[in-house]
Structure 1
């Protein structure tokens, strides 16, 4: 007790604690500081110990003074006080090591000391605080376990509902299976057609772009040629105004100019024909653009349907992700449930062992009670035998009394007779003594006479 692992409180703190948390009724009102200091009262200390044992083990205080009904114990009332002290002592010896007190003795019950009693009561107070804290923790864990079990049940129900929804979304009804197959086939066929149309439209767009580039080049060339022709005409007009040429040169120049005009007309005709072809091709491209627009609307419808299917797939993926998340949480909860089940199984094993020990103690107690009842029956049988013997002895005593009374009567008669005989003998003895004395006197006289 020199190096305590718990704080030693003063008497006021201990009195307040035991009055509020341990004692009840009149005992709580009667407990005061004077019961512990300066000299602890043995009765108050013993009452505190018994109430602590009652609180922890449900062993009532009046059970400490119960003496077992053994055969060889005479006058069991004389043993009640010693049994009460020894019972409290043994229970405290078993309990106090849990409070880190290992040297409890009988003197702590019979003649308690102040510091020693305060240390023991502080240790018990520390243990009761620890017990209360642990009980609160156990209750919190039980509440958490119940909430986890409820949450697990709700999660399993939600998982089952999600699985049903996923199954409903992934499975196609049999009446719609043929329509779904037809739609899938039409969708694949339409997709291939649109791919071909896209390829053809892209090829046409490329050719149109090429022709547009060529037309732009030719128009640019024509514009350049027109500009050149205008420049030439201006040059010719200026030259005509300045120079008078020879007719041969004019003829050759005119022929050259005619050939150039012919080539230009031919090129213009070719460009017009090419322009007509390009216009025809543009009109074809317009028709193809209308068809492509129709295909584009169909593709938009398909894209909306694909978006809806994509949304359904995303919802399905989200549901699958939620399902996996719920599965992980379920596994985690299963692990926690397994741990809690193991803890509960260990607790149940402890309770089972405790119940088995309790049952064994109960059986031993019942056996002891049966033995006590057997010994009590044996005692009753012996008592009956002794009563019969006492009755026989009383009868014999009565007979002896009658014999004694008769013998007393006979004795009284005999004593009367003996008294009469004694009286007669005493009178005869007295007469005899008188005669002897007379004879002795006569002899003395005769001797004296003779001596003379």
Structure 2
């Protein structure tokens, strides 16, 4: 007890702690500093120990006074006073090593001393404070574990709902499967036709561009010819005013001019025909553009549906990312749960081993107590047998004493008779010797 691993508290701190944490009701009110200083009161100290055992092991104070019902115990009322003390002593001997107190004796209950009692109460107070701290930590861990379990359940529910939504988004109902197949087939056909139409439109655009270039060239040539004709007319008018032409030259020139005009008219007709053809082609082109516009509208609808499908795909990817994130969180929660379970299993294993050790120690103590009680019972039986033998021997002794007394009386009577006979014989022998001496003297 000289080297303690716990602090030794003052009397005021011990009184305030045990009044608030251990004792209840009237016991807390009546427990004062004078109960263990300067001389501890055994009744108050035993009550305090009983309350500590009740707090730790749920062993109520009245249980200590119960005498075990054994067949060989005679007069159990004689054992009630010592039973409570022995019970408290054995349980305190089992409990105090956990408080690092190893020299608890029966004298600490029957006649406690101040220093020893203060040290024991300080050790118990230190153990109770440590127990309260560990219980608070365990309660926090249990609350955290319950919160983690609630989060885990919420995450699992969220994952199940997300899986259901993903399944609903990815699966097509049976009643819409045929329509979806038709739409997919129509979409593929529409894409094929649109590709063919695009190719045709591109070819038509190329041909239209070529015809436009040709028409532009023809119109440019026609304008050049008109310019040339007008310049020629001006030259003709100017030459007419200056030169008097011969009729033959004029005729040849007129013929040439007519031929040129015919050629120009033919070229104009050809260009008109070409223009008509081009107008027809432009009308066909406008019709193709209207069809292309319809196809474009259909493609826009298709693009909107594709955008919706893309949005659904993006939403599906987001849900998959959330699902993976939730899976990772769930895995982390499972890892934490496994760590907590392992820690709890280790602690339970340790507690189980400690309980097994305590149970073994308790069984050994109980076995020792039962052996002691059995030995006591055997001693009682032997004492009763010895008492019976002593009674028998005392009876025999009394009988022997009576016999000895009677024999002594008979012996005294016989010794008196023998003494009387001896005296008579002695006197007769004396007389006989005297007579013999007288005869001898007479004979001489």
**Structure-1 separation of matches of 2:46 and 2:224:** 131
Q: Please list the CA deviations of residues 399-427 of structure 1 after superposition, one character each: whole Å capped at 9, or x if unmatched.
A: 468658x849x969x89xx9xx9xxxxxx
2:283 maps to what in 1? 283
Q: Please list the CA deviations of residues 245-304 of structure 1 after superposition, one character each: whole Å capped at 9, or x if unmatched.
A: 443698888777666655544443333222112111111112222332333344344334
Aligned pairs (5 A) from 1:322-337: 322-337=322-337
**Per-residue deviation at 1:332?**
1.3
Distance 1:265 1:316, change over 3 A: same
SS at match of 1:23: coil
Q: Please list the CA deviations of residues 310-357 of structure 1 after superposition, one character each: whole Å capped at 9, or x if unmatched.
A: 344334333333332232122112211211221122122123213322
Gaps of 5+ in 1: 422-452
2:114 maps to what in 1? 112
Checking the alignment, whether the CA contact within 8 Å between 1:159 and 1:323 is kept in structure 2 is yes
Checking the alignment, whether the CA contact within 8 Å between 1:8 and 1:122 is kept in structure 2 is yes
2:295 maps to what in 1? 295
TM-score (structure 1 length as normaliser) = 0.65
Distance 1:52 1:234, change over 3 A: farther
Q: Please list the CA deviations of residues 185-236 of structure 1 after superposition, one character each: whole Å capped at 9, or x if unmatched.
A: 4433332222121222233234334544554565566567667766876787
Checking the alignment, whether the CA contact within 8 Å between 2:36 and 2:114 is kept in structure 1 is no
**Structure-2 separation of matches of 1:25 and 1:183:** 85
1:199 maps to what in 2? 199
1:94 corresponds to which of 97, 115, 124: 97
Checking the alignment, whether the CA contact within 8 Å between 2:152 and 2:330 is kept in structure 1 is yes
Checking the alignment, whether the CA contact within 8 Å between 2:40 and 2:114 is kept in structure 1 is yes
1:244 maps to what in 2? 242
**Structure-2 separation of matches of 1:95 and 1:209:** 105
- The worse-fitting range, judged by mean Cα deviation, of 291-300 and 211-220 is 211-220
TM-score (structure 2 length as normaliser) = 0.66
Checking the alignment, whether the CA contact within 8 Å between 2:66 and 2:84 is kept in structure 1 is no
RMSD: 5.4
**Per-residue deviation at 1:150?**
3.7
Checking the alignment, whether the CA contact within 8 Å between 2:66 and 2:80 is kept in structure 1 is no
2:21 maps to what in 1? 21
**Structure-1 separation of matches of 2:103 and 2:222:** 128
SS at match of 2:114: coil
Distance 1:3 1:189, change over 3 A: farther
Q: Please list the CA deviations of residues 42-97 of structure 1 after superposition, one character each: whole Å capped at 9, or x if unmatched.
A: 7567766665565445567789999999x9xxx99999999799769856862444
**Structure-1 separation of matches of 2:15 and 2:233:** 135
Aligned length: 404
Checking the alignment, whether the CA contact within 8 Å between 2:15 and 2:33 is kept in structure 1 is yes
Checking the alignment, whether the CA contact within 8 Å between 2:64 and 2:87 is kept in structure 1 is yes
2:144 maps to what in 1? 144
2:435 maps to what in 1? none
**Per-residue deviation at 1:181?**
5.0
**Structure-2 separation of matches of 1:370 and 1:251:** 165
Gaps of 5+ in 2: 420-444
Q: Please list the CA deviations of residues 146-165 of structure 1 after superposition, one character each: whole Å capped at 9, or x if unmatched.
A: 33234334433443454455
Checking the alignment, whether the CA contact within 8 Å between 1:42 and 1:111 is kept in structure 2 is no
Distance 1:285 1:82, change over 3 A: closer
Distance 1:389 1:286, change over 3 A: same
2:338 maps to what in 1? 338
Distance 1:126 1:269, change over 3 A: farther
2:208 maps to what in 1? 208
